[in-house]
Amino acid sequence: MNYTPEVEARLRADAEQVIARYPNSRSAIMPLLHLIQSEDGFCSPRGITLVADILGLTRAQVSAVATFYSQYRRRPNGEYNVGVCTNALCAVMGGDIIWDELSEYVGVGHDETTADGKITLEQLECNAGCDYAPVIMVNWEFFDNQTPASAKQIVDDIRAGKDIHPTRGPDKVHTFKEISRVLAGFEDGHVDEGPAGGEATMAGLRIAREQGWTAPVSEEEQQ
């Protein structure tokens, strides 16, 4: 099914803003795929066709990008993407246990979506939050120092329609479609809403300041 004329006109207008940021229009392919996900919840066939037409590419060329990167979905994603890190440090700190219990609790496995369309569950690779292991990410917002019980509470709150609040970042987690629009390059006003780093991340900087340590100066900077 094609987009309605109104929706297609809106997407094309947004696409023009995205393309204007790049010297080569083809460079806009990745944010445009996020734009499609903000509308359809995945990289739909009609969305791929539209991106191909806008950029003067073939559908195969656009699909090649959409199938390469894991943040692009080829089937409808849940309203909330709940990712459990099971890479080395998170795994040994309890990530594997969280994954096993949460998958059984929700009733779906990796890259599967609950029947109500609320939750897509995903096993994640490292998200550079090792100092807060084990970590869960919901729509790419951090939930630090998790346990099986706290992970189940997250999905319970999602199912109940409650706002969920990440450890760091914005005040609440926004939907997959809303976040996809941000990834397409359209600010939502929440960028400075909460802290980006917690005590574990900032400990080194704090100690350096307390000790009066400074970065070494190169010979070029000394001259």
Query: Token pair for residue 19?
Result: 């393309």
According to DSSP, the residues that pair with 121 across neighbouring strands are 82, 112
Please check whether residue 27 is in contact with residue 72, taking contact to mean a CB–CB distance below 8 angstroms: no
Q: For residue 9, give the 3-state DSSP assignment.
A: helix
Query: Token pair for residue 178?
Result: 């809303």
The span from the CA of 124 to the CA of 82, in Å, is 9
The span from the CA of 192 to the CA of 169, in Å, is 8
Residue 43, annotated as binding a ligand: no
Please check whether residue 184 is in contact with residue 14, taking contact to mean a CB–CB distance below 8 angstroms: yes
The span from the CA of 120 to the CA of 78, in Å, is 5
Please check whether residue 35 is in contact with residue 12, taking contact to mean a CB–CB distance below 8 angstroms: no
The span from the CA of 31 to the CA of 105, in Å, is 34
In sequence order, the 6+-apart residues with CB closer than 8 A to the CB of 166 are 138, 141, 142, 143, 172, 173, 194
Q: Which residues are annotated as a binding site for [2Fe-2S] cluster?
A: 85, 90, 126, 130
The annotation places the binding site at 85, 90, 126, 130
